[in-house]
Amino acid sequence: MKIEKESLIHEGHSYDFVELTVNYKDGVTRTKPMVRHNGAATILPILETEDGARIVMVRNERVTIDSFLLELPAGGIDKGEDPQVAAGRELLEETGYRAATLEPLCQFLTTPGLTDEFMHVFVARDLTHVGQQLEPYESLSVELLEPEAVIEMVNGNQITDGKTMLAVRTAQAKGII
């Protein structure tokens, strides 16, 4: 396979729609639409309370599926922005918590058949609440859940957001939660 040409279909703020002209190994040239993405950061915020650890999650309105999803806070990385800086910014904007530490947990491609979006996942600790800073178009609420409850919700398909499922499973496998 060899990409012969890339044509911009639509330029967006966080990602672009492009069409690739690809010469496949069978000798046939085909076009393939895709999304070029700046990347994103997901955060697994662990809040220590008097009652034990809690995972800070958001119930986020997802217009693409006309529903609210329980998920970990996340957001796009601006061009040239460090993923860890983006993670701290998104954590603060969506949850109102600032983290003293952000540790890398894992990285993955979200949907490589559609996009080149690369997701960086961080564990946030030593949280201080300073207040949400939502964008005017965002509609989400914050929920504090016991880690065991979040794991059970992943196991029971009550949490269906892929980035959240992968981050929770990875943190569980590494003994973080």
Q: What is the pLDDT of residues 51-93, one digit of tens each?
A: 999 999 999 989 899 999 999 999 999 989 999 999 999 999 9
For the chain, what is the domain count? 2
The range of the structural domain enclosing residue 29 comes to 2-36
Active site annotation includes 138? yes
Q: Same domain for 11 and 89?
A: no
pTM of the model: 0.92
Q: Is the CB of residue 120 less than 8 Å from the CB of residue 42?
A: yes
Tokens representing residue 98 in the block: 């600032």
Q: Same domain for 8 and 61?
A: no
Q: Same domain for 97 and 111?
A: yes
Q: Among the options 19, 138, 143, 146, which is catalytic?
A: 138
Q: pLDDT of 95-143, one tens digit each?
A: 999 999 999 999 999 999 999 999 999 999 999 999 998 888 888 999 9
Q: Same domain for 116 and 155?
A: yes
- Nearest C-alpha neighbor of 9 from the set 40, 44, 33: 33
Q: Same domain for 132 and 70?
A: yes
Q: How many residues comprise the chain?
A: 177
Q: pLDDT of 27-38, one tens digit each?
A: 999 999 999 999
CATH of the domain at 146: 3.90.79.10
Q: Same domain for 112 and 157?
A: yes
